[in-house]
A and B are shown apart, each in its own frame.
Chain A
Amino acid sequence: GEDVEQSLFLSVREGDSSVINCTYTDSSSTYLYWYKQEPGAGLQLLTYIFSNMDMKQDQRLTVLLNKKDKHLSLRIADTQTGDSAIYFCAESILGFGNEKLTFGTGTRLTIIP
């Protein structure tokens, strides 16, 4: 079955790195996504990784995938106040753009000045 889990809260000092973790259970997941939700807004796609990759870097964002442990992480370097949001990981099966995504519970990232 599909189940995606995340810790609910993370607090980080401004300028430090944030690491948000996610575990999933379905080994047939082909794409894994990170979405960002700012207060009062919808979810916005940040980045994604294909399951045959170990790492993907995009400016301040680094995604690490450990397929053996079914563990996904998002690292945000030099965390800024604008990074305060809820971060969701999501998995899809059977290919990019697959109709259904399974979302985690979301991690609320708080930046400490």
Chain B
Amino acid sequence: DAGVIQSPRHEVTEMGQEVTLRCKPISGHDYLFWYRQTMMRGLELLIYFNNNVPIDDSGMPEDRFSAKMPNASFSTLKIQPSEPRDSAVYFCASKGTQETQYFGPGTRLLVL
């Protein structure tokens, strides 16, 4: 298995622009998680899905952030409009029932 796939690996954008991060979970996994990692706040859970349904989005910072999972093999995290304080590494992770989470390599986002 290729593991969790994230794209792009790096993104540089200007403040105010829309940013879309993508994730392909491991085939057969029914949970998908989005995390954000910064030096100041460490690793934060933003949202997670079970069977494509959002279960807990309490970690989503504000309305500028949205996440979707249209099918079992694809999810997006969108930031609109982006701000410099959104600069971070965004990780996607997936897991099956009674398994631990497998992380993707992350997307490093820089908002100028």
- Give A contacts to B, CB under 8 Å: 33, 35, 40-45, 48, 88, 96-97, 99-101, 103-106
- The interface residues of chain B, by DSSP majority, are classed as strand
A-B contact count (CB 8 A): 47
What 8 pairs between A and B have smallest CB-CB spacing? A42-B103, A97-B98, A43-B103, A103-B43, A105-B42, A42-B105, A97-B99, A45-B100
Interface residues of B in 8-50 (CB under 8 A from A): 31, 42-43, 45, 48, 50
Which of B's residues lie within 8 Å of A, judged by CB? Answer: 4, 31, 42-43, 45, 48, 50, 55-56, 91, 93, 95-106
A95 to B56, CA, bound (A): 18
- Bound together, the chains give a CA A45 to CA B94 distance in angstroms of 13
Closest Cβ neighbor of B105 among chain A residues: A42
In the assembled complex, which residues on chain A have CB atoms less than 8 Å from the CB atom of B48? 99-100
Whether A42 and B4, one on each chain, are in contact in the complex, defined by CB atoms closer than 8 angstroms, is yes
